[in-house]
Amino acid sequence: MGLRDKITQSLKEAMKEKDAVRLSTLRLINAAIKDRDIALRSGSEDDLGVGDDEILVILGKMVKQRQESARAYEEGGRLELAEKELEEIEVIKMFLPRQLDEEETATAVDEAIEKTGASSIRDMGKVMGELKGRYTGQMDFGKVGPLVKERLS
């Protein structure tokens, strides 16, 4: 079962269970996926839309947006809105693969550097490309970039 099917199935379950938070979040996920489908539509009838890898990217962006919003709400003293954002993050994370911890991330970076033969900061793009190809949805590439840069310096 693909990621899109899992999301649809969860949406149906949330409707049956009348779980408002989960239902609204799943609808937002579906809307984001459909927006991406439309943006990529080539006009052919057999176009299947975005695949699981692209859905993982969409979900990762949604989590990041909500983390930033929650932080802003907390700083502004709007704790009820921050709580809502955090609840949505938990729903979205149900569809993301397990995140790598710091040690696993460091190991993955070292392996990517070795595999690509990177030796200087100029090779950072190759290393990041390798990591994104293998670990999409499993690590925060905003935090990985400085680690790669440090290793190649």
Structure tokens at 113: 């550097």
Could you give the residue range(s) of every CATH 1.10.10.410 domain in the chain?
Answer: 102-152
Number of residues that make up the chain? 153
Amino acid of residue 92: I
Give the pLDDT band of residue 17 (cuts 50, 70, 90). very high
pLDDT given for residue 42 in this prediction: 67
Q: For 7-20, what is the mean pLDDT? A: 94
Tens digit of each residue's pLDDT (9 = 90 or more) over 103-126:
888 899 989 988 888 888 888 888
CATH class of 102-152: mainly alpha
Could you give the residue range(s) of every CATH 1.10.1510.10 domain in the chain?
Answer: 3-93
pLDDT given for residue 45 in this prediction: 55
Which residues have CB under 8 Å from 68's CB, separation 6+? none
Determine whether 137 is exposed, middle or buried from the number of CB atoms within 10 Å of its CB (0-12, 13-18, 19+).
buried
CATH match of 3-93 with 1.10.1510.10 = yes
- Cα–Cα distance for residue pair 105/9, rounded to 1 Å: 32
pLDDT given for residue 46 in this prediction: 54
| Angstrom distances, CA of residue 23 to CA of 35, 79, 124, 126 | 18, 21, 40, 39
Tens digit of each residue's pLDDT (9 = 90 or more) over 40-60:
876 655 556 788 888 888 998
Q: For 24-33, what is the mean pLDDT? A: 94
- Cα–Cα distance for residue pair 136/54, rounded to 1 Å: 9
